[in-house]
Every structure is written in C-alpha cells, then in structure tokens.
C-alpha cells in the first residue's frame, strides 16, 4: 500500500470539499444568524442519550441560518436519525459562537461567529430528542497560528508554513496550546453539547512537508507519542465529558502512524467513540485489490471496520490480562506502549471501552455518484461488521456531506 498517496488524497479532498462549500455558503449568506428566543439559558445534556448514534454533519455556516437548520432538522427526523455533529471551531480557526473569554477575543477566534444564540440552537435539537455533538478542529488552526506565531509551523524563511489549501498549522508538540482546546470543549459542555468531537488531531499530511520548521517537536520523539499524550491530556482535563476523535480511515488497517502520529490503539483508552473516516472515494487505487475503491463501498468499509474491531478486541484482551496480572501501582503494558497506572484513563480503569462509530460518505468523488443505493451499501457494511458480531462495539454512524446536502430516499433501518 502506498501510504503517502493514501492519506494525501484522503485529506486533500476532504479539506477541499469543506473549504469550497464553506466559502460558497459564506458568500450566499450575509447574515448568519439563527432566529433566537431571548433569555434562553445554558442547556443540559440529554438525560437519557442514545447508545448508538445515527447522525449527520452540520457546518458552522449551516448552523447559523434558520432555513438550513430547518431543512437539516427535518432530514434528521424524517429519516429516524438521532444526532447532529455541529462545528464549534472549524478548519478556519474561527468559533461558531462567541465564547466570553479574553483569549478568544484577543486571538481573533471570536471574529466570525455563525450562530448568535447557541443555547437556543441546542435547545431546538434537544426539544426534538436529538443528541448534539460539538466538533473542534485542533492543530490545523490559521487563527491561532497567526496570533501565536511562536507556536506555528514555519518555513525556513520564518513565514507561516501552509498546506495545499493555504491553511496554517500550529505544532502539536507545543503543550502550552493544549489548554486552548480544552477551554473550548469545557465551554461547549456547559452550553449543553452532549459530546465533544476532536478532528485534525495529527501532524500535517499535505503540502511541502520537507520545508516545515517545528518550534516544539523534536525528531527524536515519535509523533505518535505526542498525539497519544494529547489524547491523555484531553481525558484528564475533560474527565466527565463524552469525547470522540476522528481518525484517518486507514488507521483501521495500518500498523504505523503514517507520519502523522495517529495509531488507533493510542485512542482506545481515552475516548467514548472512535470515528474512523471510512470514505471509499478517498481510498487509493489498489486498496484491498480494487482499482477504484469508490465503486465498492460495502467491501471497503466492511474490511476497514472488521479490522478495527479485531484491533479493539485484541487491545481489550491484552489490557484486561495486564490488569489482572499486575497491581494497581505497577506498570501496565498496553498494546501500543507502556504507561504507568497513574496515567491510565478512567475508561481503562473502569473497563469501559470505546465504541466504533464510522464516518460514512455522502458526497460524490472519483467519478462515482453516491446515491441512496451507494450510501445504503455503506450502512449495510457498518451493520454487518460491527452490530451483528459484537453489538457492544457498535456506536452507530455519522454521515458526512461537506455541502450539507444529504441524499434523500436512503433506507437507514434495513438497507
């Protein structure tokens, strides 16, 4: 497998579609404000959240227009779905709603809010029994890179380094920045979001990588170690919040960090949901023997998720055995590393393992039209690989359309 081509294609197209759709939406909507009810207080998370989430993604631009929200809410309800992933902070670095903390005013993150009344928006979804997930893009962060250039990726000339879409990044190894993202998550939880989802938890994968100067990362430290430590930091500082993480789809089948720091086993102890982005159109030619994987959504997703499930089972078995054989104060050997028991997450201690909840494709690419039948093949692959053999590992699915135009006529219940 040509790993470099795999994730370059994967994330370039994913980013491109988000970037393009967001820009076009921004032009069309002069006033990105949802009609609000005055004096709506902070909401509380759902008291009885669904165990298996069936949701769609909503950009900060769609979240800020009543017409879009009404349409997306109707889609969720009419299709028997129960969740929505809403951007809190997207690829741009801007926040979807203003957070009343000095740092977000000074660095500019509050400079382009899409939603004027986040409490009312969450209330609208909760009143319809819809679980609300807040998505935070982390290390791809043009706003933070500009505000704190001492932590940003640079070129040899000292200019901000940019990826293929012209977006700048901060160095994942700069631990001084990590609390910035937990502050956003803590605020979102207080607002009533039921779960916080983290994306772009990785090192940069596209652009002229050879020209990057890292202000904090040292090449002697494995990138996976940095990302694993960030995972642990999130759980330690957000101990009572449901957390999920988006990972490259190929983390399900690859046993190295692909140069970006992501190992699926490193995420298992710290998150309630693991969300691999299993979009068939973004798998390279030759994957699992297919010249165009986009034509084979069932096979691609079924193989990816079965492999992820086997890795989770193996991880659980190894750690359960280690826990039985070692005292609470001794060193516990994990599948991917060795860490002391004092730093093992609450998930590990309570033996509450994460659920696998894939992102599924609902956009056209590689010359393939992802119509209702194609999406149903993805759903069937998800149910077959996770739900039937091991229901306890099945966390549902999330549907990704960067334009937020979702396919009609999908049979979500029995594809």
Distance CA 223, CA 229 (A): 10
Residue 146 is encoded by which pair of tokens? Answer: 């500009």
What SS3 state is found at 141?
coil
Higher pLDDT, 36 or 244: 244
pLDDT at 26 over 50: no
- Torsion (CA) 58, 226, 229, 328 in degrees, nearest 10: 140
Burial of 148 (0-12, 13-18, 19+ CB in 10 A): middle
Confidence of residue 144 (pLDDT cuts 50, 70, 90): very high
Q: What is the pLDDT of residue 415?
A: 64
Averaged over 338-361, what is the pLDDT? 60
Nearest to 202 by CA among 234, 175, 169, 179: 169
Q: What is the pLDDT of residue 19?
A: 47
Distance CA 138, CA 260 (A): 14
Distance CA 121, CA 49 (A): 18
> Residues 381-384: contacts with CB within 8 Å, 24+ apart?
381/297, 381/298, 381/299, 381/300, 381/301, 381/302, 381/305, 382/301, 382/305, 382/358, 383/415, 384/302
Concatenating the DSSP letter of every residue in 168-204 gives BBB-TT-GGGHHHHHHHHHHHHHHT-SEEEEE--S--
Tell me: the pLDDT tens digits for 221-272? 999 999 999 999 999 999 999 999 999 999 999 999 999 999 999 999 999 9
Q: What is the pLDDT of residue 367?
A: 82
Among 271-275, 342-346, 396-400, the least confident range: 342-346
- Is the alpha carbon torsion for 245, 99, 56, 128 positive or negative? positive
For the chain, first and last CA: distance in Å?
31
What SS3 state is found at 58?
strand
How many CB atoms lie under 10 A from the CB of residue 150?
A: 11
Please, where are the H alpha helices in 79-194? 102-106, 118-127, 142-147, 178-191
What domains are defined for the chain? 3-400 (3.20.20.80)
pLDDT at 341 over 80: no
Tell me: the pLDDT tens digits for 158-210? 999 999 999 999 999 999 999 999 999 999 999 999 999 999 999 999 999 99
pLDDT at 15 over 80: no
Question: Taking the mean position of all CA atoms in its chain, how far away is CA 160?
Answer: 25
Backbone torsions φ then ψ of 320, nearest 5 degrees:
-65, -40
Confidence of residue 359 (pLDDT cuts 50, 70, 90): very high
Q: Percentage of residues in the chain with pLDDT exceeding 90?
A: 75
**Angle at Cα 146 formed by Cα 144 and Cα 152, nearest 5°?**
75
Distance CA 314, CA 22 (A): 40
Mean pLDDT of the chain: 86
CA distance to 41, 115, 158, 268, 319, per residue, from 119 (Å): 6, 10, 41, 31, 40
């Amino acid at each position: 497998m040509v790993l470099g081509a795999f994730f370059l294609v994967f994330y370039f197209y994913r980013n491109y579609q988000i970037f393009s759709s967001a820009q076009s939406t921004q032009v069309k909507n002069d006033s990105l404000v949802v009609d609000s009810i005055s004096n709506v207080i902070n909401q509380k998370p759902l008291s009885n959240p669904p165990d298996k989430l069936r949701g769609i993604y909503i950009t900060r631009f769609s979240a800020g227009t009543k017409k879009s929200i009404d349409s997306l809410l109707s889609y969720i309800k009419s299709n028997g779905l129960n969740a929505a992933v809403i951007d809190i902070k997207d690829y741009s670095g801007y926040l979807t709603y203003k957070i009343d903390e000095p740092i977000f005013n000074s660095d500019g993150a509050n400079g382009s809010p899409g939603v004027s009344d986040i409490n009312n928006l969450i209330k609208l979804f909760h009143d319809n029994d819809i679980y609300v997930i807040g998505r935070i893009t982390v290390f791809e962060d043009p706003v933070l890179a500009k505000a704190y250039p001492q932590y940003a990726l640079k070129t040899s000339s000292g200019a901000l380094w940019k990826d293929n879409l012209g977006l700048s990044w901060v160095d994942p190894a700069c631990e001084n920045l990590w609390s910035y993202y937990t502050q956003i998550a803590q605020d979102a939880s207080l607002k009533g979001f039921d779960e916080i989802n983290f994306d772009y938890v990785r090192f940069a994968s596209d652009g002229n990588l050879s020209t990057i100067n890292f202000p904090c990362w040292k090449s002697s430290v494995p990138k996976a170690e940095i990302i694993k430590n960030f995972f642990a930091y999130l759980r330690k500082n957000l101990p009572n919040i449901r957390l999920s993480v988006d990972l490259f789809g190929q983390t399900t089948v690859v046993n190295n960090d692909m140069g970006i720091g992501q190992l699926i086993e490193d995420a298992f102890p710290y998150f309630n949901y693991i969300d691999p982005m299993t979009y068939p159109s973004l798998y390279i030619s030759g994957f699992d023997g297919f010249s165009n994987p986009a034509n084979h959504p069932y096979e691609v997703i079924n193989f990816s998720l079965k492999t992820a499930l086997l890795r989770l089972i193996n991880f659980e078995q190894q750690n359960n055995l280690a826990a039985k054989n070692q005292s609470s104060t001794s060193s516990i050997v994990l599948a991917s590393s060795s860490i002391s028991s004092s730093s093992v997450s609450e998930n590990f201690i309570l033996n509450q393992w994460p659920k696998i909840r894939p992102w599924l494709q609902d956009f056209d690419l590689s010359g393939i039209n992802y119509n209702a039948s194609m999406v149903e093949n993805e759903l069937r692959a998800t149910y077959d690989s996770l739900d039937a053999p091991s229901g306890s590992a099945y966390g549902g699915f999330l549907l990704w359309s960067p334009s937020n135009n979702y396919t009609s006529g999908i049979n979500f219940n029995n594809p």
